Amino acid sequence: MTSEVLLAEPRGFCAGVDRAIDIVEHALTKFGRPIYVRHEIVHNTYVVNDLKEKGAIFIEELADVPPGATLIFSAHGVSRAIQDEAERRGFRIFDATCPLVSKVHVELAKLHKEGYEFIMIGHKGHPEVEGTMGQLDSGIHLVEDVEDVAKVQPAQTDLLAVVTQTTLSVDDAAEIVAAVKARFPQVREPKQQDICYATQNRQDAVKLMSPLVDVVIVVGSPTSSNSNRLRELADRLGTPAYMGASAAGLHEAWFNGTQKVGLTAGASAPDVLVQEVIARLRAMGAVSVRTLDGIQETIKFPLPKGLKMDPLENPEPGSLQSPHA
């Protein structure tokens, strides 16, 4: 029976998620309910339900937002077409796109002006991928795995750059980038990798923790890309790994014959869920909980100017408050 729980460090919320949730909560305080949010603000059911109770309404189609309403773009980012339509419809807009995703968008726009085409490494259908690819009308090609690299057909290869979704497996992305470079030796890579610090740090923490435990539990929602990558990574390292959205999702069979449980959480999972899982593991017999050594994250991203609590700074409807404001 489980006797010890080891906590990965870091785990849970990252700066981009913190900022996105703060934007919704500040908008509710400043402008009152309802506040409309395009797509789940972050991929966590608990967070989304909590914000719904506070007055946020989550939509996919801008036609579902009434004229003059306050609209927030999710942390994953949106396409140019969505931005343009939202401005046309005259909403008061706040952009909660993670600044590290926005950095990829800025680099894309800059290189596109110089004539580059792009290979994007990411998961088809993920909102971040749709938002990044939607920054351009053409000239950006999605690859999901090494096999896709052989199939991609850019119109020219002299000016070719690679970008990646920020929440990928670091190891998988490196393997795909290597395949891209083998096929297109002159391809341009980002100055700094696009995979964000939080994804890298949480994966590194799982690599450190996995050999020390009998089973790994990842707290995260099934739609969360970075949470899924953590579970896959532990599995790949040879430690049985399971993902649960909350303590209620744990199965006792996962812990049969285990002494040490490793616990981590995706970047969109709040600490309250981790604490509930710890309480459940204690009820199942765990007697000690220990946090492993790891990187202490201190990054914080500022809110858009229009959300400071000064009425003179209310953005006019139709104006876009950017993630860099």
- CA distances for 267 relative to 80, 122, 157, 168, 199, angstroms: 26, 18, 36, 12, 8
Q: Please say if 114 is a catalytic residue.
A: no
Looking at domain 15-98, does it have CATH number 3.40.190.10? no
What percent of the chain has pLDDT above 90?
Answer: 92
pLDDT at 318 over 80: no
Q: Output the pLDDT for position 323.
A: 44
Mean pLDDT of 97-121: 97
What are the tens digits of pLDDT across the range 46-97?
A: 999 999 999 999 999 999 999 999 999 999 999 999 999 999 999 999 999 9
Query: String of b and e for 89-111 (b: at least 16 CB within 10 Å)?
Result: bebbbbbbbbbbbbbbbebbeeb
Establish whether the linkage from the previous residue to 323 is cis, with ω within 30° of 0. no
CATH number of 4-13+197-291: 3.40.1010.20
Q: How confident is the model at residue 310 (pLDDT cuts 50, 70, 90)?
A: low
Q: How confident is the model at residue 309 (pLDDT cuts 50, 70, 90)?
A: low
Mean pLDDT of 227-239: 98
What is the pTM assigned to this prediction?
0.92
Average pLDDT value for the chain: 94
Domain(s) labelled CATH 3.40.1010.20 in the chain stretch across 4-13+197-291, 100-183
Q: Which two tokens stand for residue 190?
A: 């980002």
pLDDT at 325 over 60: no
Instruction: Tell me which of 3.40.50.300, 3.40.1010.20, 3.40.50.10320, 3.90.1010.10 is the CATH number of domain 100-183.
Output: 3.40.1010.20
What are the tens digits of pLDDT across the range 255-281?
A: 999 999 999 999 999 999 999 999 999
pLDDT at 316 over 70: no
Q: Output the pLDDT for position 193.
A: 86
Non-local CB neighbours of 203 within 8 Å, separated by 6+ positions: 169, 170, 229, 230, 233
Domain(s) labelled CATH 3.40.50.11270 in the chain stretch across 15-98
Q: Output the pLDDT for position 190.
A: 83
What are the tens digits of pLDDT across the range 157-201?
A: 999 999 999 999 999 999 999 999 999 999 999 877 899 999 999
* Annotated active-site residue in 9, 107, 128, 232: 128
pLDDT higher at 38 or 306: 38
Mean pLDDT of 290-316: 81
Mean pLDDT of 225-240: 98
